[in-house]
Amino acid sequence: FFFFFSFKAVTTALAQVDREKIYQWINELSSPETRENALLELSKKRESVPDLAPMLWHSCGTIAALLQEIVNIYPSINPPTLTAHQSNRVCNALALLQCVASHPETRSAFLAAHIPLFLYPFLHTVSKTRPFEYLRLTSLGVIGALVKTDEQEVINFLLTTEIIPLCLRIMESGSELSKTVATFILQKILLDDTGLAYICQTYERFSHVAMILGKMVLQLSKEPSARLLKHVVRCYLRLSDNSRAREALRQCLPDQLKDTTFAQVLKDDTTTKRWLAQLVKNLQEGQVTDPRGIPLPPQ
């Protein structure tokens, strides 16, 4: 009994010391001299401190300090002179913002403050260097953390911004990992009824999405990635839930999704195989079309 009591007391004391360090690092974010180390230490602890997000959000000057880190990088975007050191530092700040974005207590306030918009200049970058790739990927991670929650307010907010064209551009020309996260974000937007209706509302929006997905299928047939293909197929399947999009997809679905091109890649992925079969079935069913379908441009 004594051993258990002592062990519990020591554990509690250690937790308290750890907590004191967290408070100290949060305070150190307010000072430019101590900020860099505090960013590094807090970003390491974000998984192990469940209430770090409210602590960051409600502490004086902390979010302003994180936004200052982001804004400080803007001059290095154009012309693209971002160094690995700068990229690592701002990505530690972004990791803490991701923590705030994914916490139920702070998410709504995070959106109300329009903080995701501060990340969009990073998503606009096209430089292929590693510091920029890391910056884009970490920025996408913040948006990914938001959509992962399946909250209606997140989708409503994102649809008022330029996130869809930004994701589409990364899906077309980013690294495989960035493409995967960007496609996941699009998938989550599509899975929401409001998001699906928004994308299928005009021919221009739908055709832009369908064109990029088609290019990705072509690229995946040359350089397969099961993880990326899974998200692409899910996007197509969800689009086929909309009657107007379904009619257009009958004409523009890539042949590689109808033949055995991806049979080898998907041989162990029963979920994606099922989605693909359902997609093909959706496009085959009820081919008597609604004349009010998506207006295709004249031949």
Handedness of CA 189, 47, 178, 224 (dihedral sign): negative
pLDDT for position 12: 53
Which range has the worst mean pLDDT, 74-78, 84-88, 282-286? 282-286
* Reported confidence tier of residue 4, pLDDT bands at 50, 70, 90: very low
Predicted pLDDT of residue 6:
46
Provide the pLDDT confidence category of residue 10 given band limits of 50, 70 and 90: very low
The predicted pLDDT at position 294 comes to 52
Q: How confident is the model at residue 150 (pLDDT cuts 50, 70, 90)?
A: very high
Superfamily of domain 25-149: Leucine-rich Repeat Variant (1.25.10.10)
Give tens-digit pLDDT for 96-144. Answer: 999 999 999 999 999 999 999 999 999 999 999 999 999 999 999 999 9
What are the tens digits of pLDDT across the range 159-217?
999 999 999 999 999 999 999 999 999 999 999 999 999 999 999 999 999 999 999 99
- Record the pTM: 0.89
Quote the CA–CA distance of 222 and 258 in Å, as a whole number.
Answer: 16
Per the CB < 8 A criterion, the answer to whether 215 and 264 are in contact is: no
Distance (Å, whole) CA 44 – CA 46: 6
Tokens of 280: 């093909």
> How do the domains of the chain map onto residue ranges?
25-149, 160-258
Q: What is the DSSP string of 92-110?
A: HHHHHHHHHHH-TTTHHHH
Tell me what pLDDT residue 17 has. 54
How much is the mean pLDDT over the chain? 91
What is the average pLDDT across 82-86?
Answer: 97
Render pLDDT for 115-125 as a digit per residue (tens, 0 to 9).
999 999 999 99
